[in-house]
Amino acid sequence: MADTSRLPVPVAETWEWQRHGNCRNLDSSVFFHPDGERGFARADRVARAKQICMSCPVIVECRHHALTAEEPFGVWGGLDETERRAMITRRKQLLSSAEKEQECVSVTP
């Protein structure tokens, strides 16, 4: 077993929101796909997960975490992997465009 005594302790405040999620104590297979899941089975599972998320008191915190951490799997904050990937890609494009625009402004006399 690895010695973890030198690792920093978790900052409880950072994860406190998870204790209040509707997903707490539910089977994770609702939010994370099993191997080989496709088509209607996947769509049905994702829809069930999103339904749970929509009434969740910490949906904003959950979504923020998933987008910030770039969570690659599962339904987080009512968004599936494809939706998050699209949002993250769009955010990076906007940031890149803003940086390029700033460079143009700073070199213009």
- Give tens-digit pLDDT for 55-94: 999 999 999 999 999 999 999 999 999 999 999 999 999 8
62 is in an annotated binding site: yes
- The domain spans of the chain are 16-107
Average pLDDT, the chain: 88
Three-state SS string across the chain, please? CCCCCCCCCCCHHHHHHHHHCCCCCCCHHHCCCCCCCCHHHHHHHHHHHHHHHHCCCCHHHHHHHHHHHCCCCCCECCECHHHHHHHHHHHHHHHHHHHHHHHHHHHCC
104 is in an annotated binding site: no
